[in-house]
Amino acid sequence: MIFLLFSIATYCCIKRRVKSNTVYQDNLFLSETHERVSYDELRSATQSFSPGNLIGSGSFGNVYIGTFVVDDNLATVAIKVLNLNLRGASRSFLTECNALRRIRHRNLVKVITVCSGLDHNGGEFKALVLEFICNGSLDEWLHSNTLKNSLTAKRLSLMRRLHIALDVAAALEYLHHNIEPPIVHCDIKPSNILLDDDLVAHVTDFGLAKIMHAELWKKNYGGSESSSLAVKGTIGYVPPEYGSGYGVSTDGDIYSYGVLLLEMLTGKRPTDSFNLGETSLVNHVKMAYPNKLLEILDASATYSGNTQDVMDLVIHPVFRLALACCQGSPRQRIKMDSVVEKLNAIKKACAALMAVHDEGNVAT
């Protein structure tokens, strides 16, 4: 789901009394800590789902910004309304609910509640109420030239990109290694990475997520098997084995993450046109690796310090790591816990390099 989130307000927690006569979702979707909201409340919060409140759209519906007045405080949220006329929308809703209700991590967009009931015409209505992340998507920041207003062009330094890459890797490590059963996101891409006020990254959109070992999960916990949609992901980020009928796995997320990392470094989308013989972003980087990486590095990925030091400590290692994620064979790909470990080591080396650089500037 592509989110085009405007910098309007920050997220506030919603605490409210629930009306007893409102139809709400099944308890399958929510833990006891989540508050419930009604269709009427969401309609009011979005000014009847006004086009002026529309902030994004995607495969299964639209995303609106909504505001609630709670105890004289404004609470701003993102409300993802499913278009239930679309094939797979209901399954996507179930998938996202089952995934989001189990996860808690600083680099994952938080679910506040869900609404499943009837609209004012008596039709079926389903929506997710999510934490509002105020600084837009990574896609906007990487490809700011696509914004309507070029005066608002955004820039991310090389070091900031490294921090964002680590945030996303930490979220995936959590999903793959730190919860049981593991969750495969299935759609890692810049538009599903949101940045907050401090440019900390938050992974969103679990509409295509796959809960691993689903039959065991369903038997033991009563959960539902996640989406079985034919296409798992977005063109350019989907691992090659999925096209050959290979089952969804955490290795697929690792490939998508590798492509994301290459996009962050080069500023090129995987669907862009490349030179003759370079049929993909991965091949484009392979052709440049290791001696011509500066030539393909995104010009807006600025850095300070000696270029050779930055090449040795940051650029080469991160490109190498990205290519390790993009191995053609799933078994040859590095795991996400190792990705986090290596990125932390690179970050530590960067911090040491910056400290030396700053000391040199003071000395002079």
CA–centroid distance for 255 within its chain: 15
Kindly report the backbone phi and psi dihedral angles of residue 261, in degrees, each rounded to the nearest multiple of 5, phi listed first: -65, -40
Same domain for 238 and 301?
yes
Per-residue model confidence (pLDDT) at position 8: 29
Per-residue model confidence (pLDDT) at position 364: 40
Same domain for 161 and 107?
no
Choosing from 187, 205, 251, 253, which is the catalytic residue?
187
Last residue of a domain, one of 99, 131, 163: 131
Per-residue model confidence (pLDDT) at position 359: 55
Q: Which of 5, 79, 3 is nearest to 37 (CA)?
A: 79
Q: pLDDT (tens digit, 9 = 90+) per residue, 48-92?
A: 999 999 988 777 889 999 987 655 678 799 999 998 888 888 888
Active site residue 187: yes
- Please state, in angstroms and rounded to a whole number, the distance separating the CA atoms of residues 333 and 318: 15
Give Rg (Cα) of the chain: 21
Same domain for 198 and 98?
no
Same domain for 97 and 190?
no
- Please state, in angstroms and rounded to a whole number, the distance separating the CA atoms of residues 261 and 276: 23
- Please state, in angstroms and rounded to a whole number, the distance separating the CA atoms of residues 234 and 212: 20
Same domain for 174 and 98?
no
Same domain for 337 and 227?
yes
Same domain for 127 and 162?
no
Same domain for 7 and 115?
yes
Q: Report the chain (364 residues): mean pLDDT per 10 consecutive residues.
A: 33 33 35 66 94 85 83 82 86 79 89 87 91 92 67 79 98 95 94 95 88 54 43 87 89 98 97 89 96 96 92 97 97 98 95 69 46
Same domain for 93 and 151?
no
Last residue of a domain, one of 80, 103, 131: 131
Tokens 């991965």 belong to residue:
282
Residue pair 210/227 in contact by the 8 Å Cβ criterion: yes
Quote the tokens at residue 63: 């995303």
Strand, coil or helix: 107: coil
Q: Which of 307, 294, 237 is nearest to 266 (CA)?
A: 294
Same domain for 46 and 71?
yes
Same domain for 171 and 82?
no
Per-residue model confidence (pLDDT) at position 69: 64
Per-residue model confidence (pLDDT) at position 113: 83
> How many structural domains is the chain composed of?
2
Domain limits at 196? 138-363
Q: pLDDT (tens digit, 9 = 90+) per residue, 207-220?
A: 788 878 654 444 44
Q: pLDDT (tens digit, 9 = 90+) per residue, 125-157?
A: 999 888 899 899 999 999 976 544 444 557 899
Provide the β-strand partners of residue 183: 211
Same domain for 199 and 294?
yes
CATH (domain of 44): 3.30.200.20
CATH (domain of 180): 1.10.510.10
Spell out a b/e string for 211-230, using b for 16 or more CB atoms within 10 Å of the CB, else e.
bbebeebeeeeebbebbebe
Residue pair 185/206 in contact by the 8 Å Cβ criterion: yes
Residue pair 117/26 in contact by the 8 Å Cβ criterion: no
Bond from prior residue into 239 cis (ω within 30 degrees of 0): no
Q: CB neighbours of 261 closer than 8 A, spacing ≥ 6?
A: 165, 318, 321, 322, 325
Q: CB neighbours of 14 closer than 8 A, spacing ≥ 6?
A: 35, 37, 68, 70, 75, 77, 112, 113, 129
Residue pair 148/64 in contact by the 8 Å Cβ criterion: no
DSSP code per residue over 316-342: HHHHHHHHHHT-SSGGGSPPHHHHHHH
Last residue of a domain, one of 87, 107, 131: 131
